[in-house]
Amino acid sequence: MSTVKKTLTPHLPRQKRREVVENDEFAAFARRIIRAHGRRVATGDVEALRDLTALSADLDQAISEAVIGLRAFDYSWAEIGSRLGISRQAAQQRWGDRP
């Protein structure tokens, strides 16, 4: 007769909030890259237009992941909404239903 061992997933402690490092510079870099991509398409690279529009979906996904991550660090909807210039209710309605 074999015995079945049950494996319990240990509760992992919440991670500490990361110290803000170079986010302004990193965001500025990302904006420059996206604008450069737009200028490249504008010079006649019509094949790259689809890639440029796909960045919009990628950006939406990145924002969702960021909000979910901030919630995991116990940031409130009010704090998140404040940073986005929207109400806490609007932030919760937009991103609150996601796992």
Q: What is the pLDDT of residues 41-81, one digit of tens each?
A: 999 999 999 999 999 999 999 999 999 999 999 999 999 99
pTM score: 0.68
Question: What is the full DSSP assignment across 26-52?
Answer: HHHHHHHHHHHHHHHHHTT-GGGHHHH
d(CA 17, CA 9): 23
37: buried, middle or exposed (CB in 10 Å: 19+, 13-18, 0-12)?
middle
Q: Which of 1-10, 13-22, 28-37, 73-82 has the lowest mean pLDDT?
A: 1-10
Give the pLDDT score at 97.
74
